[in-house]
Structures are given as structure tokens and as C-alpha cells.
Chain A
Amino acid sequence: RGFCVPAGPPSTRQLREADEAAPVFQYAGKAAGRKDRVFVWGFSYSGALGIPSFVKPDAGWKKPRRIQPTPYRLETEDKISSAACGYGFTLLASNTRDITKVWGMGLNKDSQLGFQRSRRDQTKGYEYVLEPSPIPLPLEKPQQTRVLQVSCGRAHSLVLTDSEGVFTMGNNSYGQCGRKVVEDEIYSGSHLIHQLKEFDSRVVQVVCGQDHSLFRTKKGSVYACGWGADGQTGLGHYNITSVPTKLHGDIAGVNIIQVSSYGDCCLAVSDEGDVFGWGNSEYLQLASVTETTQVNVPRHLPFRIGKVKEAACGGTGNIVLTEEGNVFVWGYGILGKGPNLIETAEPEMIPPSLFGWSDFSPDTRVAHVRCGLSQFAALTNRGELFVWGKNLRGCLGTGRMEDQYFPWRVTVPGEVVDVACGVDHMVSMVRSFT
């Protein structure tokens, strides 16, 4: 009788009304900031990744995860500003003024993570730390000093603060902690953290080689201590040094702006873009200036590749980044130019098209380079991470276990700000996209 009208297809007016009546959801406010995160990947049995469920699963039927092949998020309470990977352990440092500024995880057999009191036996310490645990530093003003940088070597670690010098801990059998070598010293479960303050000016960068330490001061001079049998201390002899001593040679009087080392070879970059090297040269790292396999005095490397901005040393290969954004590699091993290039004494450039440069994005360039023991990592200005080299126990993070002969992009859910490479694991500091 005309009371009911059959429903036909919705008219434009009905559609518009339905559209306006729909509720609007808000997922992110206008002031939503980008969050800082830490991602880890690589070999996990030593606890270096900081996720206990990889080593000791929380359910009985689960198996421990030996290798984490892709980036995995590590939950931290504070924003981590600096990280370093050693040989089976990791240090994370934050820029805060709180009492805990440094956390460590992984191997602790030489107290390279300080003394971690075991809960079962109050007198002994943990030999493997599975979770980021705070490291107690003997600071005079713990609520004012800030930790600027951390660095890890084979069995020792260095912590750089802004006003209280450098703290060293761990193995000291070669004097790499900067204190006198004590014979038959037992390093495991040791409470000793040594403080180094006697330099010509404030220390701005600390670098750990395998068994030696390098300190760069504000005035541009470099100090070294530790093992010297390969000449990596650069002091003109092949003995061990237990007190940080200033380096001379070709870098005397030169303002050095960056030092790098990870194995037994060391590189330094001056403010004018020159590269100086010393240490082990068995893998042709310094073969452009000398035929000897050990160089114990810093030598200038006369490369004609442009002004160098950053350098990084690996175990057998070296990598530099120039001002124009080009990446050069030399040395031995998987250098990143395909399987045919195994060793070279002169730097070879890696084409920028492998780092995402193309006609569509001509201003993509490499911003930082980092080195692990036999891996290389490059960060572009778009926040992408490219890795290549030997894929030891999944440390490249590509998801595959094969070696990578040319730069390959690692899928990280965020913009990579910094990355620290170790022997078989890597840690990256990432900012989320939105």
C-alpha cells in the first residue's frame, strides 16, 4: 500500500550521507614523533644479541636459535646513541645523565663487560651475559658525566666519557687496557676497571683493534697501547706497550680526524683528506708503500682518489669513503666487486649504482662506511644499509647463509642511523619511518 519502498541501488545523495556519517579514526596525532630502535642479527649462542630466548628458550619444546639471519628488534628502555660489537660480545651506550649509561651482553670470560654478579653465587660473576645488563662504571660524578662512545676488541672494551677520560676493562695480557701487565692475572670475575686520563687533550675517539687500543685526542694526535708484534701500535717497535703512548712517524703534527681498526691493521684520516696506515700488511693493505708485511710506524698512503672523509679497517680488507661519496676498497678477501676481485693493493671503486644511485635518484650517496672482521657495511643518506663480504654465521643479515660478493641491501623496518659490525654479529641503530 505504499508504506514500504523497495531498496534499489544507493543514490548519490544516500552515498554522500553515508560517507559523511562514517566515524573518523585517528591512528597518529600531529605530534607523533619517530621512535628510536635497535636491531640485532647474527650468531646468538654467545648471548651477543641480547635476547635470552634465543639461547635459553622460554618453553621446553622450543629449540635454541643459533643464528638470527634477519634483523630482530632488541627492546631497550633508553635511546642507544653508540654501540660496538666485539668478538662475541656487544656494548650499548646511551647519552643520558642517569646512573646506568652502558649495557653489555655476550661473552664475559675476561670481564670485558665488567663484573656481572651472579644471582646463584654472590661471589662469582656470569661468564655469558644473555641480556643487556648495566655495567657499573666508577664515575666521580655519575649524574653529570655522559658516555660519548664505546668500543670493543677481542677481549677488552673501552668506554669514552666527556669529562672523566677513558675507562678500560677486560683482558690486559698485552697491556691493551692501558695498565701494567700483571703476570698470571685472572681476568674472569675481575672487578677492575681502569681509568685513563693522561693525554695531551681531551680524548674524542677510542678504537679497539684485536689486542690493542687507539685513542684520538682533540688536538689531532693518536695514542696507542697493547700488542705490537705486527706493528699495530705504530710506536716504532714490535713489543707490547702497557701505557698509552703518542704516535709519531708520518702523522706527527698532522691533525687526525678519524682513526679506525678492528684486526691488526690501522688507518687514520687527516683533516686534509690524506690516509695514513700502519700495522699488519700481510694482506696487501699497505703494499702501496712498502713490501714488508709489518709496518710499525705510521706511513702516508699516496692514493689519488680524492679527499677522504672516512676510513674503516677490517681483518683483511680496508674501505674508505671520499668527499664525493665514492667508496673504495682494497686488501684481500671478498671486496665487493664480484667473485673475481680477491686481492688488490690499490683502491678500487665500487660503482654507486650498486648503492641505489640511478637516474631517478641521483642524490643517493654513501654517508658512512663500517667494517667487521671480514664484512663491510655502507650506510646511504637515505637510511639504507648495504652489506657485503663473508657471511660468517649469518652476520650479514640478508636472510641467506651464502657469502655476498657485491653490496646487498638489508631490509630493516626503519631508517638506519648507525651500524656496528662484529665478527659474527651486527647491531644497528634505527629510527622508525613515521
Chain B
Amino acid sequence: LNAAPERAPRQRVRFLPNPAPRGGGAVELVAASVPVLADHPLVRGPRFRKLKIGAGHRLDVKASGVFVLGIGHGNKLLSDLYNCHLTKVYTVGGLFGKATDDFSDTGNLIEKTTFDHITREKLERILAVIQGTNQKALLMYSNIDMKTQEAYELAVKGLLRPMGKSPPIITAIRCLQFALPEFQLEIHCLHETQQYLRKVVHEIGLELKSSAVCTQVRRTRDGVFTVDDALPRTQWNLQSIQEAIRNCQLKVETELEKTLA
């Protein structure tokens, strides 16, 4: 980063004495714009010695996916993005038939159950119920008086969202793949932790009169940042990072304006 071409040094207007053509006498002052000596690279040293990097929403050790970072002045945007309370999308993989203590497949086994009575239809019914109860929680925690006309209008447009602290809420959930004993869900949620998603998988197993563990949690979208914008491990170099920042800048600005206006 320090090898990149540097900013031009600041210019300052100084009044320099102009050597008078006739020696002696009044010294005239001429205004000239000269570079400030304090900005000289040899005086100042390398531009960047430390970089401040802030992290967006937390991601577990066992989970994977999009992770938003802010660099330098971007850290201020991070807190604004947090206050926007945008939804995150996860792809959660599960396995029927086992129950463990930490709800994932690497924990201590507690119980094994049969699962051949489970059909895709039953799973979708349970998912519809989860969505319905979370829809209610969404309206309740959005802290708007239900009796007003604006509450009705926001509810119609679907913009009613908790804009403060709230327990985890799932706004949408659907089944992507179903092949006994494995299944995959897509979950849109707010204010959640990955362990909460694993707990949801465990509870789905209990509702279906069996048990389930979570095998995979992958975040595919965090607010405006999707998997396409995210840089994989092979691309963690300066050019890609700068390009990615430039691409996302516009999106972030429009989103912040829209929500915090």
C-alpha cells in the first residue's frame, strides 16, 4: 500500500523575499505557492503504518460465508449499517436422526431416532408455522403502536422491522433440498447468532417427532453484500480489495440513504 503513488504534497502560499535587482534597500515580498516541507516523503515517512479494520456481524468458527470488514474511514459506515437492521441470508444444512448437545454434528451424541416418517410436506408445514410466529414477533418488536394508520401502511408494504434491540427473528425460511436424512434450508433472519440457527434446526427435528443436527451454516448475504461481492481466500490482495470497495460503495450509500433518511 505504501508503494502506491502518493498524494501530492500540500501547497502553501508563502511570502518569499524577492532579491531586489538593485542590491540593498527595501526587500520586496512576492507571494509564491511552494510545497510544505513537512509533507515531504523523507520527512514524513511511509503514509500507512497501521490500518484500522473493523468487523461487521459476527461469524462463528464453525460457520462460513460472507463477512463484512471496514477499513479506516469505513468503520463509521459499519455502525450505520448495523443501525439499518437489514436481513441476512443463511444456507443451513441439517441431518435427521441424531441429537447432540451443541446441536451440530461434532458434539456429544445424546439420542438417535427414526426419521422415515418425515416427508417434505410435513417439513414445509413446520416451516410455514415458524414463519408465521416470527412474522408476529416482527410486528411486535417493531415498537410501533398497532392502532395507528402508519402501522397498517408499513405492515402492508412489509417494511415493519424492529429498529432496535430484539431477540432473533426469522423473516423467511424455505426448504431448498430434501433427501432423507439430509435437508437444506434457506433462512432470512435479523439479530441472530449461528448457534440460534443450529437450535432452530434442532427444534424442527423435535417438532417432526424425531431429532436433527445442523451440519452446515453458510452466510450468503449480509445486508447489501452478497457472495458475488465477497472475496475468496485466493483474492485477498490489494488490487481486488480496492476494486471490491469501489464496487460496493454505491450500493452501501444508496442503502444507508434509503433506510436512515
Taking CB atoms, residues of chain A closer than 8 Å to B156 are: 351, 353-354, 406
**What CA separation (Å) do A35 and B132 show in the bound complex?**
21
Taking CB atoms, residues of chain B closer than 8 Å to A406 are: 151-152, 155-156
B169 → chain A closest CB, angstroms: 14
Cross-chain contact B146 with A402 (CB below 8 angstroms): yes
Taking CB atoms, residues of chain A closer than 8 Å to B258 are: none
Closest to A20 in B: B112
Chain B CB within 10 Å, residue with most, of A338, A358, A361? A338
Cβ of A61 within 8 Å of any chain B Cβ, yes or no, is no
With A19-B109, A354-B155, A434-B208: A26-B114 Cβ-Cβ less than 8 Å: yes
**What CA separation (Å) do A384 and B156 show in the bound complex?**
18
Taking CB atoms, residues of chain B closer than 8 Å to A338 are: 148-149, 151-153
With A32-B209, A354-B155: A22-B112 Cβ-Cβ less than 8 Å: yes
Q: Which of A8-32 contact B (CB under 8 A)?
A: 18-19, 22-30, 32
Taking CB atoms, residues of chain B closer than 8 Å to A404 are: 146
Cross-chain contact A340 with B149 (CB below 8 angstroms): yes
Cross-chain contact A339 with B148 (CB below 8 angstroms): yes
B157 → chain A closest CB, angstroms: 7
**What CA separation (Å) do A425 and B109 show in the bound complex?**
47
Cross-chain contact A24 with B114 (CB below 8 angstroms): yes
Cβ of B165 within 8 Å of any chain A Cβ, yes or no, is no
Q: Which of B127-159 contact A (CB under 8 A)?
A: 128-129, 131-133, 135-136, 139, 146-149, 151-153, 155-158
What mask results when residues 100 to 132 of chain B are scored 1 for a CB within 8 Å of chain A, else 0?
Answer: 000000000101111011000010011011011
Cross-chain contact A339 with B152 (CB below 8 angstroms): yes
Cβ of B229 within 8 Å of any chain A Cβ, yes or no, is no
Taking CB atoms, residues of chain B closer than 8 Å to A3 are: none
Cross-chain contact B117 with A32 (CB below 8 angstroms): yes
Cβ of A418 within 8 Å of any chain B Cβ, yes or no, is no
What mask results when residues 349 to 382 of chain A are scored 1 for a CB within 8 Å of chain B, else 0?
Answer: 0010110101011000000000000000000001
Taking CB atoms, residues of chain B closer than 8 Å to A32 are: 117, 209
Taking CB atoms, residues of chain A closer than 8 Å to B174 are: 360-361
Cross-chain contact A23 with B149 (CB below 8 angstroms): no
Cβ of A337 within 8 Å of any chain B Cβ, yes or no, is yes
Cross-chain contact B132 with A384 (CB below 8 angstroms): yes
**What CA separation (Å) do A23 and B99 show in the bound complex?**
12
Taking CB atoms, residues of chain A closer than 8 Å to B117 are: 28-30, 32, 434
Cβ of A415 within 8 Å of any chain B Cβ, yes or no, is yes
Cross-chain contact B172 with A358 (CB below 8 angstroms): yes
A389 → chain B closest CB, angstroms: 13
Cross-chain contact B157 with A353 (CB below 8 angstroms): yes
Taking CB atoms, residues of chain A closer than 8 Å to B149 are: 338-340
A151 → chain B closest CB, angstroms: 30
Cβ of B210 within 8 Å of any chain A Cβ, yes or no, is yes
Chain A CB within 10 Å, residue with most, of B122, B146, B148? B146
Cβ of B207 within 8 Å of any chain A Cβ, yes or no, is yes
Cross-chain contact B128 with A405 (CB below 8 angstroms): no
Interface size on A, residues (CB 8 A): 37
Cross-chain contact B113 with A433 (CB below 8 angstroms): no
Cβ of A300 within 8 Å of any chain B Cβ, yes or no, is no
Taking CB atoms, residues of chain A closer than 8 Å to B207 are: 433-434
Cross-chain contact A409 with B122 (CB below 8 angstroms): no
Cross-chain contact B128 with A384 (CB below 8 angstroms): yes
Q: Which of A18, A27, A433 contacts B210 (CB 8 A)?
A: A27
A26 → chain B closest CB, angstroms: 5
Taking CB atoms, residues of chain B closer than 8 Å to A24 are: 97, 112-114
Cβ of A411 within 8 Å of any chain B Cβ, yes or no, is yes
With A27-B209, A411-B133, A433-B126: A353-B158 Cβ-Cβ less than 8 Å: yes
Cross-chain contact A409 with B158 (CB below 8 angstroms): no
**What CA separation (Å) do A340 and B112 show in the bound complex?**
55
Cβ of A403 within 8 Å of any chain B Cβ, yes or no, is yes
Taking CB atoms, residues of chain B closer than 8 Å to A28 are: 117, 209-210
B152 → chain A closest CB, angstroms: 3
**What CA separation (Å) do A360 and B209 show in the bound complex?**
27
What mask results when residues 418 to 434 of chain A are scored 1 for a CB within 8 Å of chain B, else 0?
Answer: 00000000000000011
Taking CB atoms, residues of chain A closer than 8 Å to B155 are: 354, 406
Taking CB atoms, residues of chain B closer than 8 Å to A25 are: 111-114
Cross-chain contact B146 with A26 (CB below 8 angstroms): no
Taking CB atoms, residues of chain A closer than 8 Å to B126 are: 433-434
Q: Which of A292-349 contact B (CB under 8 A)?
A: 337-340
Taking CB atoms, residues of chain A closer than 8 Å to B131 are: 356, 361
**What CA separation (Å) do A338 and B157 show in the bound complex?**
13
Cross-chain contact A18 with B125 (CB below 8 angstroms): no
Closest to A382 in B: B128
Q: Which of B135, B136, B147, B210 contacts A402 (CB 8 A)?
A: B147
Q: Which of B114, B122, B135 contacts A356 (CB 8 A)?
A: B135
**What CA separation (Å) do A406 and B155 show in the bound complex?**
9
Q: Which of A30, A360, A361, A382 contacts B116 (CB 8 A)?
A: A30
Closest to A337 in B: B152
Cross-chain contact B147 with A409 (CB below 8 angstroms): no
Known: A29-B117, A339-B152, A409-B136. 12 other contacts (CB 8 A): A18-B109, A22-B112, A23-B112, A24-B112, A28-B209, A339-B147, A384-B128, A405-B146, A405-B147, A406-B152, A411-B136, A434-B207
Closest 8 CB pairs of A and B: A338-B152, A28-B209, A27-B209, A338-B149, A26-B114, A24-B112, A351-B156, A360-B172
Residues of A whose CB lies within 8 Å of any CB of B are: 18-19, 22-30, 32, 337-340, 351, 353-354, 356, 358, 360-361, 382-384, 402-406, 408-409, 411, 415, 433-434
A-B contact pairs, 12 of them (CB 8 A): A26-B114, A27-B209, A28-B210, A32-B117, A338-B152, A338-B153, A339-B152, A382-B125, A383-B125, A406-B151, A409-B135, A434-B208
